[in-house]
Structure 1
Amino acid sequence: MPVREGHRFDEASLAHWMSANVDGYEGPISVRQFRGGQSNPTYLVATPSRSYVLRRQPSGLLLKGAHAVDREAAVQAALAKTGVPVAQIFGTCLDPEVIGTMFYLMELVDGRIFWDATFPDVGTGDRPDYFRAMNSAIANLHALNPNQIGLGGFGRPTGYVERQIKRLSEQYMADTVAGRDPNMDRVIAWLDHARPRNPERVAVVHGDFRCDNLIFHPTEPRIVAVLDWELATLGHPLADFAYHAMMYRMPSHIVAGLAGADLATLNAPSEEEYLALYAGSTGIADTSDYDFFLAFSFFRLSAIIHGIKGRLARGTAASPEAAERVKALPELAELAWGQARRAGAPAS
């Protein structure tokens, strides 16, 4: 789509930067904007010889630690040396004077994005292969040794859950423009005391691993690029998997979800089968914290949507679909509290 009002920037300045910093660049450029991009505005930058994707921070007042596009580029550059499929990074610009915010450029990867977790455009006999591809991709990510791929300092090696709860709770409380939700308040009060029971594991975690953040091969059940690494850090792999597997309990009108779907008719694996496949691939024998991590995941997504609500109110939301996404916040917060009750939270 054409670049939206409020998301435009100096294209001549970008072209000048690319000429000095991107190997093989040959102008001129033309710029269009991708639909979506709830957090960071994303653009197609086309030249006569190739096309690039530009990801930038939104303009305006930003919450501390949010929209870390520099980290997003850094993790993809590190993962390019592994079997985890990512887009090639062509350059990162930390100077906000170039286009108004920091940004990075990556390759445009050809393929398919599925916005529906039922994979409706896939043949019934092939559908299990798409689920296996997702499961394998996140398991392969979690199998990597962060120190061996240059990401040992990408985050603190311990305390991931505690830090996430603290940071997201503080952001929720601080964003007075977005207001409060009683179910969010209940979940936060419970999470302040609840913790996983098993010893902490450390892996590179994606933070938002969903089918719509994956590019599949144009014709094969194979992932050619994992997108949207903004929330990546070092953390607990089972927590990251639970956020992905949250699709089994997520209504499809909120984000890509399978709640209420007839999995047998779809020929899709059950949640229990999907968890067992991941556990077998990663060697995580004890998954008894899975329900806790699901509650934590619903809280995380609720907090993220709450942040979008605040940006929408302040006029800095990146996506035109932000208002629709925010409408689901009360239902999502209610689901988060329901998952907390399932994980042992007392009635209140």
Structure 2
Amino acid sequence: MSSVRCVLFDLGGVLVPSPYQEWTKKENNSNLKGDDVLKTLLSPNVIESFHNLEKGLITTEDFDPIFTYFYNIQNPSRQINGIAHIFGVKDCHPVKINDKFRTVVQILKAKGYKVGILTNNFYYDRSRQSSTLPIISSDLQLFDFIFESCKLGMRKPEKKIYEYVLNEMKLKGNEVIFIDDIGKNLKSSKELTGMITIKCENIDTTIQKLEDLLKTNLKTFIPGVVSIEGNNTLNPSILLQYLQNLFKTNEGSLDIMKFSHGQSNPTYYLRFGDKELVLRKKPSGKLLPKAHMIEREYKILSLLQGKLPLPKTYVYEENLLDSPFYLMEYVRGRIFIDPNLPGLSPKDRKEVYEEMIRILKKIHNINIDINGLEDFGSREKNYMIRILERWKKNYELANGCKDDNHEVQILLKWIESNIPPQNRVTLVHSDFRLDNLIFHPTENKVIAILDWEMNTIRDPLAYLATCAFAYYYSTQITGE
């Protein structure tokens, strides 16, 4: 459904349990019975106050005594002592939205859809200062739009609230899918504004209906990917046929997303049926010699299978797309973007850092005399001297061959005099850092090493130093 640009969710009864579900859950320990509560809410004596509550004209401090009074009259055998707070109390503990719907929201955002909440809710106190959305802040931050009836002074299923929402989002009704658990809210939104509607009676069924409308998978969220529609150098139809031939299948579904973090070579997530793949290609257009060497990366990944934790490789292809690419498996796990590991306990941070160093040692202990590594770099032991000479020449060229900067000359002489002796050469990753490692989803164990395009044979101490660089200058790098 290409016209859809936004998915709008009700809160209670969709993203979180409805009040009715909460009342029913507590029936055994309370005189409040779910059906009786609903009957009182909708009774002539209470319904107007209930609507005023949802419009923000009164608060739960005003409404609760009214409800309690009429509930006790209507249910004399189950009267309530004190005041019934059927919608909770102010400053109640915030909750998370449903995990499955959180995944749906994350995928929708990654694919470029807007997501919003449209809820009938209420103020909890007469000062109107308490939170009206008892949802954890990290979940609320997922949404582009949040519309609350008590703050708007209008409620579902009134026509004006739907018109207001569409106007604020700058969308037409047929560009919005609205998910609610109450039929009359959906009926009015569809008839009055043309919104596409889904009634939420069961979470899994609702998600399936949304998948059918959008023709996309909404059950598996891949962190760090973004939509590529309108900016796609891949040809989906050619790629689909290629994958069908490669895996000898008639599977017809192919979903393509692009990884957004730290990729000098464009890298894509492919979901081909039940297979999860990664396609890594050279950038399009003219490239510098020996840059973006993904063929080298593919070779080392294939060569060292079983010797290091690496993704499984499938194929390297030169001519199918506008630039060479290779395919490997998608490895599901954790990637730590921030080298300072905020949010981890001291114990976990220690284990993650120790595992990172263990993997670095394992790379440097690979036998460089095995078949296939002969042309992966020089075994010379004057590498640092040669690199310094290159830097000096680059500096001189950049400065018109002038060498009148006294401080720079002092620095160069000091470095030349203090280059440590090079005792060994090993396989080096050349870009080894924390965010090029995939950790097990729950264990502090590396399950895949990524981004091997610059691998070579060099002095291992130099690459221990570059790995440690992020921690020596962590405040400049991370801003913390």
CA distance change for structure 1 residues 200 and 25 in 2, over 3 Å: closer, same or farther?
Answer: farther
Partner in structure 1 of residue 362 of structure 2 = 140
Distance across 2 between alignment mates of 1:174 and 1:90: 44
Partner in structure 1 of residue 268 of structure 2 = 43
Distance across 2 between alignment mates of 1:61 and 1:251: 35
Partner in structure 1 of residue 440 of structure 2 = 217
What secondary structure does 1:52 align onto? strand
Contact 1:129/1:221 (<8 A) preserved: yes
Distance across 1 between alignment mates of 2:418 and 2:229: 43
Distance across 2 between alignment mates of 1:35 and 1:28: 23
Structure 1's unaligned 5+ residue stretches are 176-181, 261-348
Q: Deviations over 1:226-245 (max 9, x none)?
A: 11111111111111111111
What secondary structure does 2:243 align onto? helix
What secondary structure does 1:148 align onto? coil
Partner in structure 1 of residue 351 of structure 2 = 129
Q: Is residue 18 of structure 1 aligned with residue 272 of structure 2?
A: no
CA distance change for structure 1 residues 23 and 87 in 2, over 3 Å: closer, same or farther?
Answer: farther
- TM-score normalised over the length of structure 1: 0.62
Contact 1:143/1:203 (<8 A) preserved: yes
Distance across 1 between alignment mates of 2:420 and 2:411: 18
AA matched with 2:266: P
Structure with max Cα Rg: 2
Alignment partner of 1:87 out of 301, 311, 317: 311
CA distance change for structure 1 residues 26 and 203 in 2, over 3 Å: closer, same or farther?
Answer: farther
Distance across 2 between alignment mates of 1:186 and 1:23: 63
AA matched with 2:442: T
AA matched with 1:204: L
CA distance change for structure 1 residues 22 and 203 in 2, over 3 Å: closer, same or farther?
Answer: farther
- TM-score normalised over the length of structure 2: 0.46
Q: Deviations over 1:318-348 (max 9, x none)?
A: xxxxxxxxxxxxxxxxxxxxxxxxxxxxxxx
Structure 2's unaligned 5+ residue stretches are 1-225, 399-404
CA distance change for structure 1 residues 85 and 58 in 2, over 3 Å: closer, same or farther?
Answer: same
Contact 1:169/1:188 (<8 A) preserved: no
CA distance change for structure 1 residues 169 and 60 in 2, over 3 Å: closer, same or farther?
Answer: farther
Partner in structure 2 of residue 116 of structure 1 = 338
TM-fit CA distance, 1:209:
0.8
Q: Is residue 245 of structure 1 aligned with residue 468 of structure 2?
A: yes
What secondary structure does 1:146 align onto? coil
Alignment partner of 1:154 out of 365, 370, 376: 376
What secondary structure does 1:62 align onto? coil
Contact 1:79/1:149 (<8 A) preserved: no
Q: Deviations over 1:184-204 (max 9, x none)?
A: x87996699567331341111
Q: Deviations over 1:151-209 (max 9, x none)?
A: 2322222254456557778889999xxxxxx9xx8799669956733134111100111
Partner in structure 2 of residue 269 of structure 1 = none
Distance across 2 between alignment mates of 1:31 and 1:123: 35
Q: Is residue 105 of structure 1 aligned with residue 327 of structure 2?
A: yes
Q: Is residue 203 of structure 1 aligned with residue 422 of structure 2?
A: no
What secondary structure does 1:67 align onto? coil
AA matched with 1:61: K
CA distance change for structure 1 residues 219 and 189 in 2, over 3 Å: closer, same or farther?
Answer: same
What secondary structure does 2:233 align onto? coil
AA matched with 1:134: M
Contact 2:425/2:458 (<8 A) preserved: yes
TM-fit CA distance, 1:74:
0.9
Match runs of 1:180-329 below 5 Å: 193=416, 196-254=419-477
Alignment partner of 2:293 out of 68, 73, 89: 68
Distance across 2 between alignment mates of 1:11 and 1:174: 46
TM-fit CA distance, 1:15:
2.6
Aligned-residue sequence identity (percent) comes to 33
Partner in structure 2 of residue 54 of structure 1 = 279
Contact 1:57/1:69 (<8 A) preserved: yes
